[in-house]
Structure formats: structure tokens, C-alpha cells
Structure 1
Amino acid sequence: MTSTPARPGAHSRPDAPPFRFSRMESLLRGPAVRGVSVDGVGAHFVTDPVLVRDILVKDSKNYAKGELFQKARNLSRAGILAEDESVHRYYRRLAHPHLRSATVDDYAPLMREIARDAVLSWRAEQRVDVQAEMCRIAGAVALNTLFNGLPPQTSALLTERLALLSWEMIRKPLYGKAAARAQRRQCAGRLLRAREDFRRTLAACLTGRPGTPAPAAGYLSALRPQLHRDGPALTPEQMCDEAVMMLTAGTVTTASVLSWALYVISQEPLIEEKVLKDTAGDADADALHGTAHGHCPAGYTVRFLTEVLRLYPPVWITCRKTLSAVTLGAHPLPAGTHVLFSSYLLHRDPDRYRDPHRFDPDRWLSTRPAMGDSSFIPFGVGAKGCIGESFAWKELEIVLGAVIQEWQLSVEPGSRIRKAPHTTLHPRRLLMIPRPR
């Protein structure tokens, strides 16, 4: 793919070279900021991790979420995803007690029970749609930790509907002809139906209407306005949208990472052996979590998952839009300029990672992403980084351990697993055969 350097003081032109995931790595060669177009809309693509750090941290107040590659804002425009910084910070503070590390540790026994029950339901030699199963497990974990106290029948119904919604969200195209076709079919599409089915059931639980189950406890119950009168309250409609967004976001990202993790293990017997040994025993699985956030050696499973996140980050592309005129490196950008960057690309930069396409968990014994750049951002960084990072690490370790301790998975003979750059970066089709350990 050819591209043109960004012109100082000018918007990217719609006739700039079109963005293509398949050719994205060519952007690592040449200017660190250049013009591209996404479906005819001009944007600047940034490949310098230092400049990405400026966007996300140093000058974050000058950037808002852009309209290109929208992922979750069709689910919620209030609460944590609000454009108003004060509203965003308020709802982030509201969620924090339910997602901090100490609370997440308390969730571990329930996470383990959910994961084990799910994988024990599989049958030897019977094909498993791994991504659908990971959506079901991750959805059950999110619902039963963040929205606990539901009657079992209601929880089971919500879990199935959340899994279906999450799988439809994962494979939603973000740009190009496929996205245009999906947009034209949206009113009659599976995604819209799945969202409405889940939302209708969840709304009854959140509002506690007569004849419905009593409202549950946990973070999602804290969205009810009578429980937080010191901040901007959500309307019942917004409250439900926020709940759907939180549950779906936590499910789709985790499911995608776990799917890649299980695929990699199936292809790498030596790695599988090390992860299997490292995840043996519940106490050991909990101990693994210790230093994961600093991307330190910790245990082998932490290094393995860190490498999965490096090569297959679920949030693979991000768009920001300048709120005012800014200077990005040597490039003046007017207000309203779309700015793109990709964790997928940053994580494969040969200037930061030796032999970047090789899957090597032990690279993290010596590799440390620099504090002054964003060369490793699977969870984002800065004030708007993923608030559920601690939750995600704990869940990834526990679910991975539950699966591989019980089953050895293999892909069907002749299968070719390709990357699908949709709402998350996921395997296009991943059917696997489980065999007992």
C-alpha cells in the first residue's frame, strides 16, 4: 500500500490511499504520520508510539473519540462512554470499587466455578465452536460477578442472550464494503435482534418493574439513580444502555483473546506443556496474577497471555478526533481532524520487538515496553484506558486454565485459521475437537 505524508495544517484528503488491514504493516515504513482514507473519509494514521502516547496521555484533553471504526458507542453514549469528561470520570469512579484488584480476587472462586462447569459440559471428540463457547463463559462471568443475585433461571437466560449478542458484535465489520452491506441490513439484522432481546430482559432486572425479578446487587445496580445522588444520573434508557455496553465490552474482548490463546496452544506443543504445568492447581492459578500489569516475568502463563495480547490485541484499531488545533510531532492538525492508530501495528514494530511475528512468551523475560511510549497498549493507556484490566487478567488466567486442564484441543484437519479484523480481532472461524487429558 502506498501512502502520502500528512500535509501540515491540512485535513487528510478523502482521495488519500485507502486503509486496508491486509496492507497495514506497510505503514511501518515511511512517515510516522501520513494521510489515509477510510470509506472516503480522510484521516491521519500514526505509527510512532511516542506520538500515540501524546494522543492518549500527554495531550488527551485535546482529543475525543472519532467517528471512524466505531465499536461500542452504538450501545451507549452516556456513562463511561460520555463525551463530557466530568460525566466519564464520575461513572469511572462509580465502577472502580467493583473492578479494582482486591475485589477481582474475591470474584476468582465464582469465575473458576463458572468456567469449570462450562468446559465439563463439552463432549470428547465432538466439535466445539470455540468463539461461541468463550462468549458464553465470559458472558456468564461478567453477569454473575458484576450483576450478582439474579435468580438462576434469569441468569441462564441473560447469559445465553449476552453470548449471542457478543458473538454478533465480535464479527460486525468496521469499515469497507462489508460494513456498508451490514449497515444497510441493520434494521433486519441478527445483531439488532440480539441486542433487543438481551436489552429487554436486562431492563426488567435493572428497573425492578412489577412482576419481574428483584434488581440484583453489584456494579450494575449502582447505576440506579437513587443510589448515587451526588453525580449526573442516567435515565432508565441510558442506565440500560450502560449496562449492555459494560457487559458486552467485557465479554467480546475476553472471548476473542481466549480464542486466540486456545488456538496458539493447539499449534505449539511445547508452549502447551508449559502453560499446562503453570496453570495446574487453583492456588497456582491465583498466584500467576501478581505482576501481570507491569508485563513482568511473573509466571509462564502471564508471559503467554501477554504475547497473545501483543500479536492479537482485541481492540486493534482506534480513532480519535482533534477538539482544537493541535501539533502532533511536527504536524499541525486543525480541529476536527481524524487521527488513527493501531495496537496491532504498534505491537509488531520491528524497532520495538525483535522478530516481531514470532510467538515467543519468553521475550517478556527481557522486553519491557518503554514508559514514554505506547508500543504495548492492549488495554489502552491513560485516563481512558480499560477500567476492567485487572478483571480481564484474572478471567483470562482462570478460564484458560479450566479449559486446558480438562481438554487437549486441536483444529480440524485442513483448517486454515485467518484473522478477522472486525469489532475485535478474532479468528474468522475456529472449530476445535476436544480430547480428554
Structure 2
Amino acid sequence: MSNFYFGECDTVELAKKYGTPLYVISEDYIKERCDEIKHDFLLKYKKTMAVYASKAFLTKEMARIIAREGLGLDVVSGGELYTAVKVNFPMDKIIFHGNNKTEEELELAIKNNVGRIVIDNLREIDLIEKTAEKYDKRVNILFRISPGVNSHTHKYISTGQVDSKFGIPLDDNIIHRGIKKVINYKHIKLLGFHFHIGSQLFENDTYIRAVRVIAGLMKEVKDELGFITKELNTGGGYGIHYAGKGERKPLKYFTDAIMGELEKCCTEYNLERPLLMIEPGRWIIGEGGITLYTIGTIKNIPGVRTYVAVDGGMPDNPRPSLYSAKYEAVVANKILDERNEIVTIAGKCCETGDILIWDLKVPKIESGDILAIISTGAYNYSMASNYNRIPKPAVVMVSQGKDKLIVKRESYDDMLKNEI
């Protein structure tokens, strides 16, 4: 078996069948992570809920899988919500986020009876009340709180600090005002609070600190306003392996710590433990995806570097340019060959920064070889663009040696269809 297999499928054959660049997603891997969530969280603890953070990767087929696995869906835009609507995803299991929801998006959410709307700022309260009154609905909400906890991650994906575009700051004049306001509204029901402290986190200490902060808020609003917190959503952000340091940890490393601290705080503050929610996204899908490319130009600059160009780049994976993200890769048709050369994998865009991997160890490499970049399931397809007028790749789902197309490759005409 000299080729690289993924989901029991020969990736070289997949490249021949569907062309490159090609996103390949393992349904088996997704199911394994969902099983872990069920076994180590949902069945282990009472009053729990898990939702998939769909911004990591969302297609109609992915939404169907999540529904079949019994998880909920976290959406952050009208487009993500509309995708869920089109596959008849259970609306009561949808949580609608966003720091600047439009009136149209809120109308779509309320009209379709989403389970919860997470309020990111007090402006949204009146918009929700007005829309809910229009459709004669009662809307469940959570307040997103900025707990003031700094996480150990890239500044672009840190979200729980005081200076954040997300959430309501822990200021009595703001949060207390919001709670007082919604308590008296006819069409809004406040269930509790939400926080998200960042992404690609490998330690549980920041979650523990954030839970203690929010538990303090729960006690405060009970004592001063008489509000009983029924739900606490602790977000996601659990890290996965890309390249170098950092290995994906078991879910229970995070959830046991979160639950332990919450129960401890509730006992200390004489509070009823609320329903605890988590929102993993990348942790479910990230390592369950790869991207296949065909190698084209090989440019050797003596004494400096060898650039190996592939037929994709920034448009299908902007993360290296955006976050300096690091990836691992293998030459799929030479998986057993000795890796004794060092090359830099370059994308095909007219950008000096379009580099996918610096200094990758590879075997003797040639034009026409197939390169497989690992752990591209999250924030690759979902962040893809048509920069340089490059069509978006197809997406193939694999499971137990079988493959099926779930997103067609974009054509030039597809890119132009909305232009006049």
C-alpha cells in the first residue's frame, strides 16, 4: 500500500476521480467525536446539552450528520441558519449567535422557532422583542458575557478578554440593566448566560476561571434581582493537532473540569446547578479533513530554498496567511518513500504571503505528485474565497472505504452567475 489512505480510501484515486484541489472529510471521524461527546458528557452528566459550532465546517450533509447524531447546532449568520432550515434540522436544538445580527437574520431565526438566541449586546433586546411580537412568539435568550479571562492562544482567536468585540462586559450598570429589561418583556424569556474564551486551547484552567466568574454573576443576580440561572453555555475552543506541539485532548479533560468547578461553585453559593452546554466545532471536524493538491512548478533557488507550487492556496486555506497557522503534509503517492528533502509549499495566488507550509520534509518530489495537507477539516472550506477568480474546490465525504460527493466543484460560470 504505497499511497496515502484516508477514511479507508486511496487519496491518489480520489484525486484522479474528483480532481484537485479537493477537500476530503471523514464521516467516521465525525461520528467518533460525537460518540465521545455522548459517552463522556451527555450520558455522564444530567442536565447537559452539546451543540456543534457550525462555523468550523457546514454543508447540508454535515448538518444532516449532526442531526442524526443527536447534537444541536450553533449558527452565527442567516446563511448558516438557512442551511439548517433547508435540511429540516430540529429548530429547538439551534443556538443563534452573532455580534451584529441584522433584523432580517433575527426575523429568520424567530420565524423558524430557533431554540435560543444569544444576545451579544443590549441593542438586540428591543429588536428581538419587536420581531417576536410580530410573529406572536416567545423567544428564549442567553446573555453572552465577557468574563475578562485571557486565554493562551493567537490574539485573533481570543474572545474572552475584557477588550473584545464579543459579549457584554461584566459591568453592573450594563448587565443588570439588561436583565431588568428582559424580565419585564412579554416575548422574551431569559434562560441564563454564555461565554466563549477563545479557540485552539489546550489547558482547562481558563475554563475553570471563567466558570467561577460567571458563577459569581449567577449568585449576584439571584441575590439582587431574583433571577435564577437555568442554563450556562461555556462555548467550545478545545484545541486539535496541526503541526509541532499541541495534541487534541479528550473531551473529558475539559468537560470534567468545567462541570467540577460549576458544581463546586453552585454548592458554595447555594445555587441550583443550571443546564450545562458546550459548543465544540473544530474539535469535532478539524482532524477529520484533509486537502489534496496536485504539485506543479518546482523552483529551486540554489543555497536558499526550493518552492513547490500546488494548484490551490490562500483561496481554499487562508489560515497560514491569516494566523500563521502551521500544517503537516505528506506526498500521497509516495507515502513510504524516505523524506530527505526540505521544500516550501507555495500556493498559486499572486501574493508573496501565499505559503501553505514552510520547510516541509518530503521524498524526491516531482510535478504531478499529489500532496495531502492534514487537519484541514475546520476553517478551510468555511473560509474559502474566490480570490484571483479561482473556483472553490469540491468536497468529498468518505466512510469505510466509500466516497461520495457532497459539494460540487465550482465552475467559472458559478462564480459569475450573480454578476450583471
Structures share a fold, TM > 0.5?
Answer: no
Structure of higher RCO (CA pairs closer than 8 Å, 6+ residues apart): 1
User: Normalization by structure 2: what TM-score?
Assistant: 0.24
User: Normalization by structure 1: what TM-score?
Assistant: 0.23
Greater strand content:
2
- Structure showing greater radius of gyration is 2
Greater helix content:
1
